[in-house]
Amino acid sequence: MEIYRFIVLGHVQGVFYRKFVSQAMMKKQFQGYVRNLHNGTVEVVAEVFDEDFDTVLQILHEGSPASSVDEVRYEILENADFTTDGFEIRY
């Protein structure tokens, strides 16, 4: 298991993208959070097992019906101070 930080670019703020992602990730029982960033992108931090990586990418690319995802960038967080209970929306 790794902790990933995803940055989602596109039309992803003000279109229920965070709610869609949080509900889809909770349904699949992922741990993490989603939040808007000041530059118009969305950040997702999640604990992901190798076999679930493609599922996470699929959720992030799908997004809400009103959203339009152009790109999803990601990195592994080596020394993450990561605590959450489930999957949440952060503000």
For CA atoms 56, 48, 12, 66, give the dihedral sign: positive
Number of domains in the chain: 1
Chain-wide mean pLDDT for the chain? 95
- Tokens read off for 58: 């699929």
Domain that holds residue 77: 2-89
40-58 residue pLDDT tens? 999 999 999 999 999 999 9
User: Furthest-apart CA pair in the chain: how many Å?
Assistant: 35
CA torsion angle 31 83 46 80 (round to 10): -160
Give catalytic residues, as residue numbers. 18, 36
Distance CA 68, CA 17 (A): 9
80-90 residue pLDDT tens? 777 778 899 99
CATH of the domain at 42: 3.30.70.100
Indicate the pTM of the whole model.
0.95
